[in-house]
Amino acid sequence: MNILIDIGHPAHVHLFKNFACEMQRKGYHIIFTCREKEFEIHLLEENNFQYIPFGKRYRSVLGKLWGMVEFDIKEFITCLKFKPDILLSHGSIYAAHAAWMTKKPHISVEDTFNFEQIRLYLPFTKVVLTGNYKHPLQSKKVIPYAGYHELAYLHPNRFSADTSVLQELCVSPEEKYVILRFVSWNASHDIGHKGISYDNKLKAIKAFSNYAKVFISSEAELSEELKSYQMPILPERMHHAIAFASLLWGESSTMSEEAAMLGVPSLFHNDKGTYYTTHLEEDYGLLFNYTESIVDQEKAITKGVELLKRDKTDLQNEWLKKRNKMLQDKIDVTAFLVWFVENYPESVKIMKETPEYQYRFR
């Protein structure tokens, strides 16, 4: 079986990397396609995956429109050469269109519910796998499963935090540290968002520095004033760094969700919020959602200080209990995805008729 996986974000490499490794061990052929964003290619190379880059992303509206045409064509040509039996992605319009044009099935693994993208790929997709929490995507193509994207690579079966990252960060095991995560706001679904104000970024750094060491992870280039806080580790070490942090604070839903999977408190800023982060707050209390308003940004700083003031061990134990409660309800997403793709399309019928079958993959 030949499988093509299209990558639209560095987090998608993490989402599919364990799946790809397992399928390769089974003798299947995997190829990745991608655009160049932040650490996508670095992560693909780090995992020794075969990949085809389609060039840099466009930032202007006109550029994005042209990019849709250009990347569609490149994906289609790749399919003609590689001849995939199945295409897989996190809501990629390019993979969906190429699958339709080559009469091959496309499976989308969806958790952002950005309808400007969904409307462009859904008609060309056979199946959409989503978490089994409340969301607005209603379609006969949707198959809910008991998990999250981040559990594909941060489930205890798949990930064990490496304490040596503390040496890389120059912090002691007893020392608290906080990770601030800022995004670039260049994606199509980011239009209309401004994120955390620069003044409040400085306020947060000053406030948190009284109780913990501060590190910044940022998609965009940091100002000279903030560069001294930049995380001094390789991208593939980020999850190990998150695992031992006392707090994650910022604009990235993905990293906020990753912190939750690892039992680390996170404070997420977004005007719309997400269905996923709302679920994690309301059902498990693993993170806190805030809007981008100045008032909420200041509340989030206050909440961050409140958490950092607490005894480190007590805070860790409380969040690990919340995490364990969540894990009891969820499955090993990679194991489920391997089974689903390997047994497609029979797996669709099984999940429609006996969805409890998925709990074999814990």
Torsion on CA atoms 24, 128, 263, 297, rounded to nearest 10 = 130
Examine residue 284 and state whether it is found in any structural domain, yes or no. Answer: yes
β-bridge partners, 34? 7, 53
pTM of the full structure = 0.91
Does 316 share its domain with 170?
A: yes
3-class state of residue 329 by DSSP: helix
Does 310 share its domain with 336?
A: no
Indicate the number of domains in the chain.
2
Q: Among candidates 178, 148, 125, 169, which has minimal Cα distance to 14?
A: 148
Does 303 share its domain with 200?
A: yes
Examine residue 261 and state whether it is found in any structural domain, yes or no. Answer: yes
Q: Which residues contact 279 (CB under 8 A, 6 or more apart)?
A: 131, 133, 134
Does 53 share its domain with 171?
A: no
Does 316 share its domain with 214?
A: yes
Does 293 share its domain with 199?
A: yes
User: DSSP string covering 13-53, please?
Assistant: HHHHHHHHHHHHHTT-EEEEEEEE-TTHHHHHHHTT--EEE
Question: Within 13 Å and on the Cβ side, how many CA atoms surround 324?
Answer: 6
Does 70 share its domain with 130?
A: yes
The confidence score (pLDDT) of residue 186 equals: 52
Q: CA 221, CA 58: separation in Å to the nearest integer? A: 17
Does 350 share its domain with 320?
A: no
Greatest Cα pair distance, the chain, in angstroms, is: 59
Q: CA 199, CA 155: separation in Å to the nearest integer? A: 36
Query: 140-174: buried (b, 16+ CB within 10 Å) or exposed (e) per residue?
Result: eeebbbbbbbbbbbbbeebbeeeeebbeebebeee
Peptide bond into 345 cis (omega under 30): yes
The confidence score (pLDDT) of residue 38 equals: 65
The confidence score (pLDDT) of residue 194 equals: 67
Looking at residue 288, the DSSP 8-state letter turns out to be E
Q: Which residues contact 93 (CB under 8 A, 6 or more apart)?
A: 68, 72, 117, 120, 121
The confidence score (pLDDT) of residue 190 equals: 43
Burial class from Cβ neighbours inside 10 Å (0-12, 13-18, 19+) for residue 310 reads middle
Domain with residue 181: its CATH number is 3.40.50.2000
Q: Which residues contact 256 (CB under 8 A, 6 or more apart)?
A: 181, 248, 250, 266, 267, 268, 277, 287
Question: Within 13 Å and on the Cβ side, how many CA atoms surround 156?
Answer: 10
Does 13 share its domain with 150?
A: yes
Does 181 share its domain with 264?
A: yes
Q: CA 88, CA 110: separation in Å to the nearest integer? A: 11
Q: Which residues of the chain have pLDDT under 70?
A: 38, 185-194, 272-273
Does 206 share its domain with 280?
A: yes
Examine residue 160 and state whether it is found in any structural domain, yes or no. Answer: no
Does 342 share its domain with 323?
A: no
Looking at residue 237, the DSSP 8-state letter turns out to be G
Examine residue 132 and state whether it is found in any structural domain, yes or no. Answer: yes
Domain holding 8, by residue range, is: 2-155+331-360
Contact predicate 226/201, CB 8 Å: yes
